[in-house]
Structure 1
Amino acid sequence: MSDLVRGMARPGAPGPPSPAPAPPPAAPREDAPAPPPAPAAPESRLRIGPLTEPTPAPAPAPTPDVDAAQEAEDLFAQLHGFIARARELTRGAEPFPWVALGGHVDRVVASLDAGGALFWEAHRPVLPPGVDWVSYHQARVAVLALRVAVAAGYDRARLGALGLAGCLFDIGLWQLPDGLLRHHDALSGEELAQYRAHPRQGAQIVRRWGPPQDGLVEAIQQHHEREQGQGFPQGAAGAGIHPDAKLLGLLDTYASMTLPASGAPGVPPHEAVRELVRSKNDFPPALVKALLGELSVFPPGTMVRLNTGETGCVVAVNRNHPLRPRVEVYDAKGPRQGAPKIVDLSEAPFLYITGPVSESAR
């Protein structure tokens, strides 16, 4: 061992005195109070409670470089793909994978909580080639309904059941003869009776699967009932209709108007919204108001004309000012090359929408 390690002075001329060693750190007092625990993160208003069976872990949070629109498109494709595969289960006695569907609903809710990309992906009234309309329609309604449900005051305990019902509410349509939906507006008396039986048929299938949430079967069976008793299959009215059935019925109507099962051109979103506002006796005003808060009178995707004569496309709504959304302003030939010109009408007092652009004027 060296002299330095031993702390001994070497022989010869004495050097400067060594500095005194630093005192050891004081031991913590046993009676010192423990630091307070970190505050819990605030609970999201959209998270849903667990199903009666454990659900898969939610997808990891996206990194900042992930394209939100692409992520929403992928998530929506996974959802309607899962629903499409459930069609085979309606024909046999296999158990339904409620845990897997609950996982999809969890991921939908998490995405809606993070931003609006999934909502507008579901809102887009375009059926991809080769995709089953019933599956796609149910996925659209489920996503739209979950978003509107929060505005309507749903708490987290109710969102899970609503999401499950929204994914399965129209499975009774798979029991109808092939092609019947293609001419839905011109059904014979016998075909109309078959169509009006689909809510009961869907409810019977879901009951057989043993749903994990109360009210699921009732919501599916009643989604065509209306406030004044003018719906089917039972003619229930008012408080006799399950709240989830009312919300699903509203979004089912809106989604069917903008993307019909027949394959015919859909009603423009702003016209569908106005039609729902006019149908005062069909749905509770509070639900229609909640839908309006999400879609506005001019929903995203609506072509509009400004008071300057310019045209553009609505890209985002303003909940506080429904008539003053954000608009991508076009030039005479359509969308501008390069960076788009986005105008927030709530910050442009001298600009306003004079009305939608008709299909013939585009």
Structure 2
Amino acid sequence: MSDVARGAASKPRSDPPPEKSRAAAPAPPPPAEAAPPSEDTELRVPARPARLNLRALATMAPPAAAERDEQPPADRRALDVDADNPFVLLERLLERVRPLVKTDDPFPWDELTSIVDRLVSASTASAELFWLAHAAMPPAGGDPIAFHQARVATLALRIGANHGLEPAQLAELGTAAALLDVGLWLLDGAARRDMQSPEYRSHPRLSAELVHRWGPPSDVVVQAILQHHELEHGQGFPRALQRQAIHPYAKVLGLVDRYATLTGLGRTRARPHEVIRDIVRSKNEEFSPALVKALLFEISIFPPGTPIRLNTGEIGRVTGVNRNHPLRPRVELVADGKGQALPAPRGVDLSETPFLYITGPVTESR
């Protein structure tokens, strides 16, 4: 993860989440000794994302269409801070956690658990908070690592909720996501920026050791944090684990961490379709194909607001996504094939027009 990302979002659902009872867990084992998960703990991904054709996504070919029942907010600019927003509450809590990495003060587990429970409730209810965190821009004066961890937690919870994780599992996933990079607070700025340096590559272990010292509610939180930079074929760090040796939560965190880092760098943030295409085209298959499809199932390669060009040369902007087939969204056309502005914008649902498809994004709509 890069240390340059922070932001804010507006108020999600106000309904309180149902109360959960969580038994206190014994102190977890040291992170280096955490046992790999068994095969029956592998993340469950529903069949619908698996129908997505990754080769088609990588080459921008037009698949058949389907409809999406939920739309992200149309306004993708940075949103006003709301003090009761769990995304914002998490970011602010993590800013207060930072000094704890160098002290023996107790960790506020009750407060973190309460916020994560609210995030779980919001994530299972709708995509609103997901998209607010997705669109959030780094505000001045905040802690970039705190922002990034809050953003990863929010994005990962929605993906996990949509793909079969139970509330208790989501709570573990969200807790791990919220603390996955606390070890970066022990590094100086130069080490945090150099992602190939030994210091940077030590941060998963540093993070896991800190969280272990704080006594988390579940030992799998430590395991997921330790392994969140491991990759499918052993290219990751710190232990070069492969496939089934990597905890399912860590696989989710690794993919979402990569996506959130590349789409959350302020003025240099990459467009979602660029990040998705780079992930899909990875020759080394760094991430589980099933999880890449799961990411596409929630995010879409062309989110609302993306300026695009059709095969006819017409130019427009995405207004709504089709969940199963992210290359055939609803669009609003603003210019004809010669680049001339239309008298009035024209809406087109590409799921109903098989001979029209997106050839790619454009830098600016005309």
TM-score (normalizing by structure 1): 0.71
Residue 311 of structure 1 deviates from its aligned partner by 3.3
What is the aligned counterpart of 2:203 among 198, 203, 215?
198
Q: In structure 2, what is the equivalent of residue 235 of structure 1?
A: 240
Unmatched 5+ residue regions in structure 1? 1-45, 54-66
Aligned to 1:81, what secondary structure does the other structure show? helix
What is the aligned counterpart of 2:143 among 132, 149, 161?
132
Moved over 6 A (4+): 67-72
Residue 128 of structure 1 deviates from its aligned partner by 1.6
What is the aligned counterpart of 1:88 among 90, 94, 99?
99
Q: In structure 1, what is the equivalent of residue 254 of structure 2?
A: 249
Counterparts of 1:246 and 1:96 in 2: how far apart (Å)?
26
Q: In structure 2, what is the equivalent of residue 58 of structure 1?
A: none
What is the aligned counterpart of 1:109 among 99, 120, 140?
120
Q: In structure 2, what is the equivalent of residue 155 of structure 1?
A: 166
Residue 307 of structure 1 deviates from its aligned partner by 4.3
Residue 315 of structure 1 deviates from its aligned partner by 4.0
Change (3 A) 1:151 1:116: closer
Q: Is the 8 A contact 2:204 2:226 kept in 1?
A: yes
Q: Which moved more, 1:318-327 or 1:97-106?
A: 318-327
Q: Is the 8 A contact 1:310 1:331 kept in 2?
A: yes
Aligned to 2:318, what secondary structure does the other structure show? strand
Residue 295 of structure 1 deviates from its aligned partner by 1.4
Which of the pair has more CA radius of gyration?
1
Where do 1:1-362 residues align within 5 Å? 49-52=20-23, 74=82, 75=85, 76-124=87-135, 126-182=137-193, 184=194, 192-260=197-265, 265-279=268-282, 281-307=285-311, 309-330=313-334, 343-349=348-354, 351-358=356-363
Unmatched 5+ residue regions in structure 2? 1-16, 25-72
Q: Is the 8 A contact 1:47 1:156 kept in 2?
A: no
Counterparts of 1:164 and 1:81 in 2: how far apart (Å)?
15
Counterparts of 1:347 and 1:198 in 2: how far apart (Å)?
49
Q: Which moved more, 1:218-227 or 1:342-351?
A: 342-351
Counterparts of 2:80 and 2:353 in 1: how far apart (Å)?
31
Q: Is the 8 A contact 2:127 2:158 kept in 1?
A: no
Residue 176 of structure 1 deviates from its aligned partner by 0.7
Residue 51 of structure 1 deviates from its aligned partner by 3.4
Residue 235 of structure 1 deviates from its aligned partner by 1.0
Counterparts of 1:128 and 1:317 in 2: how far apart (Å)?
28
Counterparts of 2:74 and 2:109 in 1: how far apart (Å)?
27
Q: Which moved more, 1:80-89 or 1:219-228?
A: 80-89
Counterparts of 1:88 and 1:51 in 2: how far apart (Å)?
27
Counterparts of 2:323 and 2:249 in 1: how far apart (Å)?
23
Q: Is the 8 A contact 1:108 1:143 kept in 2?
A: yes
Q: In structure 2, what is the equivalent of residue 28 of structure 1?
A: none
Change (3 A) 1:156 1:68: farther
Amino acid of the residue matched to residue 110 of structure 1? S
Counterparts of 2:115 and 2:145 in 1: how far apart (Å)?
18
TM-score (normalizing by structure 2): 0.71
Amino acid of the residue matched to residue 245 of structure 1? A
Aligned to 2:360, what secondary structure does the other structure show? strand
Counterparts of 2:108 and 2:345 in 1: how far apart (Å)?
45
Change (3 A) 1:328 1:206: farther
Show CA shifts across 1:223-245 (max 9, x none): 01111111111111111111111
Q: Is the 8 A contact 1:200 1:221 kept in 2?
A: yes
Q: Is the 8 A contact 2:79 2:136 kept in 1?
A: no
Change (3 A) 1:212 1:242: same
Counterparts of 1:140 and 1:165 in 2: how far apart (Å)?
12
Amino acid of the residue matched to residue 234 of structure 2? G
Show CA shifts across 1:238-295 (max 9, x none): 11111111110001111111224xx661222101001111225211111111001011
Q: Is the 8 A contact 1:299 1:314 kept in 2?
A: yes
Residue 72 of structure 1 deviates from its aligned partner by 9.3
Q: Which moved more, 1:310-319 or 1:69-78?
A: 69-78
Change (3 A) 1:73 1:50: farther
Residue 174 of structure 1 deviates from its aligned partner by 0.8
Amino acid of the residue matched to residue 326 of structure 2? P
Aligned to 1:304, what secondary structure does the other structure show? strand
